[in-house]
Structure 1
Amino acid sequence: MEVTGTVKNKHVAVFTFPYSSHPALLLTLTRKLASAAPTVVFSFFNIEKSNRVLFSGLSGCTNILRYDVSDGIPDDYVFVGKPQEDVNLFLAVAEDEFRRAVRVAEIDTGLKISCLVVDGFFWFAGDMATEMNIPWVAFWTAGACSAGPDEEIVDLIPGLESVRLGDLPSGVVMGNLESPFATMLHKMGRTLARANAVPINSFQELDPDLTKNLSSNLNKFLNIGPFNLTTKEKTSEHDEYACISWLDNQKTRTVAYICFGTVFTPPAHELVELAEALEETETSFLWSINKDSYKHFPKGFLERTSANETGKVVPWVPQDQVLNHVAIRVFVTHGGWNSVLESVGAGVPMICRPFIGDQHMNSWMVERVWEIGLRIQGGNFTKRATCRALEHVFSHSYKRIEALKDLAHKAVASNGSSSQNFKTLLEVVTGSTP
């Protein structure tokens, strides 16, 4: 592989956890760093399937090199449906694969690795960095809040006083604590404090007490987001399904935007309950969901809501534009960290239906700590619970979300806290003051 442009004097290796939203976030961070440090080579290591999607049509940042590592899945392997089956296979080979790929990248570029920037999950990066005598940065892709009896309130650390044990990600204090994934989490917990810096996609004004506590326990705990406010493209996303023009014809703050990301879809019976609640409450809605799920809607639902223009169902939307449209009143979401930040950045309250991992904790924080939305009662969609949630959000003023929106935008301004923290991170990664 060849790096074009100016002469390069440093070489940074980026290790990606290749599942969910992790790779895209790591690439976003890498692009920000590469743009700010054009004399540094960034070798980006990820499984081929994920890399193929990420780098498709990617332009700019010629100092980023793509390297594929094995996903650990044998050619003749047949999946049997075990939890986190693909993740566990990858984890079994991850360290060896990254070590092998690093040697290849050093030969390709003629530059020794000068810093490791890794997904916070990769505990072994600390040992690698020690062996190589270089700094390492552990990027935490979830919120700061994600670092017994389901209803028990526990005083974990300052800033998390109101979090329930039942909302901690499975594998941390419950579930299968012997699985490779759980083992990874526990090893990560023991090594994270050794990292030279721990950047996070958030802004410190969102969780000031938690930020203060983590800063006292971690080296350079750096809020450098929200990324959705710092990496907006100069041109608008293509609106293939004319969502914006449809929203233009809706009244101000009257539309529920519904999307559960690209990975999660509620089970069929919940889709029915949610659809019936929308019609029962006469709520206008824009719903982004894969076409395979259309068959689960109540009979005539798509036709009725389309005919009276109260609803629009599409397989994809330009989410940033949609959330920032004046017609949007509420975001019905799975509570993933990226979605929460996008909603905060747009000043839109949320109705959360979490599925796995940190989504439960994020949703709890949305409702009980930040008070910028609510979780669906009972944890899943029923017609009654959904009607109540929609009626509550549409009848209440969520002033806190507007305040957090302002703080988020100030954080990413030129002299904001996130912008200043990014400069500190850049200094750690490049070994010099920008």
Structure 2
Amino acid sequence: MEKSNRRRVILFPLPVQGCINPMIQLAKILHSRGFSITLIHTRFNAPKASSHPLFTFLQIQDGLSETETITDDNTLLFTLLNRGCETPFRECLTKLLQYTDSETEEHKEKISCLIHDSGWIFTESVAKSLKLPRLVLNGYSISFFCSHFVLPSIRREEYLLLQGSEKDDQAQEFPPLRKKDILRILGEKRELLEPYLNTIFQTTKSSSGIISMSCEELEQDSLSHAREDFKLPMFAIGPSHSNFPASSSSLFTQDETCIPWLDKQQDKSVIYVSFGSLAKMSRTELIEIAWGLSNSDQPFLLVVRVGLVNGTIPQELLERLNEKGKIVKWAPQQEVLKHRAVGGFFTHNGWNSVVESVCEGVPMICLPFIWDQFLNARFVSEVWRVGMHLENRIERNEIERAIRSLFLGNEGEAIRERMKLLKEKVERSVKQNGSAYRSLDHLVDHISSF
């Protein structure tokens, strides 16, 4: 780590796994550049402070009831969090600033800025009242973040009434999504969507800059559009997680026994299957996936986390699965994707998972479930062309066909070659003089200027 620059940065992640991971990664990066780190977090889904002894963790109340913490409606969850956290956050931040002001000159640290997840929308008024500069961390791809503000207007135009073959057409308002993807996104419970997105847009535009865990090599056109739309400093600092393992920021207990199991498998032979921390599926869907894996004759590592499915896998199928693969409740994903034995990733296409897969050169089979996952899957399968899209066909024959094609077919071979080239490009971006490396330097200079 570089010597302390006597500056402190306050970080405030949204309390879901996909938002905590990039915020902790950013904390590690900034700490390595000499900044002290204070992380304010909610009681709900609190990160493990013991895993990060060099950071200061401050917990605030969030006002959520037990019932509210298990809602399937993320927009509702985030709206409730914004209502419940404003006063506790303001009080916590005010005390921090007062404490800093009272320190002796010898130990005095300047609080440079607040960096918060884009989903926190009350932070604008709090930071403004305390005269604290504020940057926004975007946990999505830049492509989704810039385009998803059109969703309320698409809903108002009665997009849901579209019928027939038109559903396979590209959505001109939100490329490269198909119209059927838009239907699935808007089919979720989204009564609070319009006011929430409008406020995110306004609070982002009034910030001092946007930080993204993406890079020019993945989203050059989208980054150009974002700079035009927001007219703010844009810091695409790249998939810097490769320098800092993410296991310490996991909200789930990881089953490390899968690594010795992978050690026994042949190179590039295993299909890793994980659908992230939020996806839910029916028992029937899980059974179809399980049979598809079993019938493919490829060894597999299947993650079935608590809450993924209602019900259990039949014992007969479970016994067959255990003969050919391994089932765990949660896996150390970065370590798994790095492993020589893993040759494919059957994924929900969360942005963190997509970027990690690209960084390790592992081609994907795409089965998106919610929100930005649909756009990420289109980028994987149609823009970068480093994976296959199941198009929501959760059928054993389709899954078996996709796995066999990826591991044994000509299409899979072409995908692997494109993935190898994309991995090399992204690797260059985070090395000295690469686009993401330069962007990180600019971010450090920007924070230091406050």
Q: Which residue does 2:27 correspond to in 1?
A: 30
Residue 318 of structure 2 aligns to which amino acid in structure 1? L
Q: Which residue does 1:66 correspond to in 2?
A: 57
State the superposition RMSD in angstroms: 3.2
Alpha-carbon contact 1:72-1:93 (below 8 Å) kept: yes
Alpha-carbon contact 1:15-1:117 (below 8 Å) kept: yes
Q: Which residue does 1:153 correspond to in 2?
A: 170
Task: For 1:46-195, list aligned pairs within 5 A.
Answer: 46-51=41-46, 53-59=47-53, 61=54, 64-73=55-64, 83-84=73-74, 85-110=76-101, 113-147=111-145, 148=159, 149=162, 150-156=167-173, 161-167=175-181, 178-179=191-192, 182-195=194-207
Aligned partners of 1:372 and 1:311: how far apart in 2? 24
Residue 424 of structure 1 aligns to which amino acid in structure 2? H
User: SS of the counterpart of 1:326?
Assistant: coil
Task: For 1:198-347, list aligned pairs within 5 A.
Answer: 198-218=210-230, 219-232=232-245, 241-290=256-305, 296-307=312-323, 310-347=324-361
How far did residue 119 of structure 1 move?
A: 0.8
Instruction: Give the percent of matched residue pairs that are identical in Structure 1 and Structure 2.
Output: 25
Aligned partners of 2:4 and 2:268: how far apart in 1? 52
Alpha-carbon contact 2:21-2:246 (below 8 Å) kept: no
Deviation by residue 1:129-183 (Cα, 9 ceiling, x = unmatched): 4444443211101111212344342344xxx642235535988x7765541x542
How many residues are paired up?
412
Residue 9 of structure 2 corresponds to residue 12 of structure 1:
yes
Alpha-carbon contact 2:385-2:418 (below 8 Å) kept: yes
Alpha-carbon contact 1:30-1:42 (below 8 Å) kept: yes
Q: CA separation of 1:217/1:169 partners in 2, compared to 1, >3 Å: closer, same or farther?
A: farther
Aligned partners of 1:14 and 1:169: how far apart in 2? 35
Alpha-carbon contact 2:170-2:177 (below 8 Å) kept: yes
How far did residue 122 of structure 1 move?
A: 2.6
Residue 398 of structure 2 corresponds to residue 381 of structure 1:
no
Alpha-carbon contact 1:374-1:389 (below 8 Å) kept: yes
Q: CA separation of 1:80/1:55 partners in 2, compared to 1, >3 Å: closer, same or farther?
A: closer
Alpha-carbon contact 1:117-1:139 (below 8 Å) kept: yes
Aligned partners of 1:291 and 1:211: how far apart in 2? 37
User: SS of the counterpart of 1:356?
Assistant: coil
Aligned partners of 1:11 and 1:46: how far apart in 2? 16
Q: CA separation of 1:249/1:136 partners in 2, compared to 1, >3 Å: closer, same or farther?
A: same
Question: Runs of 5+ in structure 1 lacking a partner?
Answer: none
How far did residue 380 of structure 1 move?
A: 4.7
Aligned partners of 2:77 and 2:327: how far apart in 1? 31
Deviation by residue 1:25-80 (Cα, 9 ceiling, x = unmatched): 21221222123124xx43321102433x3313323x3xx321112212258x7779
How far did residue 352 of structure 1 move?
A: 1.7
Q: CA separation of 1:99/1:78 partners in 2, compared to 1, >3 Å: closer, same or farther?
A: closer
How far did residue 353 of structure 1 move?
A: 1.5
Q: Which residue does 2:39 correspond to in 1?
A: 44
How far did residue 96 of structure 1 move?
A: 2.6
Residue 431 of structure 2 corresponds to residue 413 of structure 1:
yes
Bigger proportion of residues as helix: 2
Residue 71 of structure 1 aligns to which amino acid in structure 2? D
Aligned partners of 1:82 and 1:391: how far apart in 2? 34
Q: CA separation of 1:245/1:177 partners in 2, compared to 1, >3 Å: closer, same or farther?
A: closer
Aligned partners of 1:261 and 1:178: how far apart in 2? 25
Residue 51 of structure 2 aligns to which amino acid in structure 1? G
Q: CA separation of 1:251/1:177 partners in 2, compared to 1, >3 Å: closer, same or farther?
A: closer
Residue 135 of structure 1 aligns to which amino acid in structure 2? P
How far did residue 269 of structure 1 move?
A: 0.8
User: SS of the counterpart of 2:242?
Assistant: helix
TM-score of the pair, normalised by structure 2? 0.81
Residue 359 of structure 2 aligns to which amino acid in structure 1? G
Deviation by residue 1:208-250 (Cα, 9 ceiling, x = unmatched): 1112221233312121121322324899x99954433333332
How far did residue 405 of structure 1 move?
A: 0.6
Aligned partners of 2:402 and 2:339: how far apart in 1? 21
Q: CA separation of 1:13/1:281 partners in 2, compared to 1, >3 Å: closer, same or farther?
A: closer
Q: CA separation of 1:87/1:291 partners in 2, compared to 1, >3 Å: closer, same or farther?
A: closer
Alpha-carbon contact 1:241-1:314 (below 8 Å) kept: no
Q: Which residue does 2:149 correspond to in 1?
A: none
Aligned partners of 1:406 and 1:126: how far apart in 2? 39
How far did residue 332 of structure 1 move?
A: 0.7
Alpha-carbon contact 1:196-1:428 (below 8 Å) kept: no
Aligned partners of 2:62 and 2:123: how far apart in 1? 18
Residue 56 of structure 1 aligns to which amino acid in structure 2? S
Aligned partners of 2:304 and 2:204: how far apart in 1? 37
Residue 402 of structure 2 corresponds to residue 402 of structure 1:
no
User: SS of the counterpart of 1:258?
Assistant: strand
Aligned partners of 1:82 and 1:256: how far apart in 2? 28
TM-score of the pair, normalised by structure 1? 0.84
Residue 425 of structure 1 aligns to which amino acid in structure 2? L
How far did residue 300 of structure 1 move?
A: 2.5
Q: CA separation of 1:185/1:166 partners in 2, compared to 1, >3 Å: closer, same or farther?
A: farther
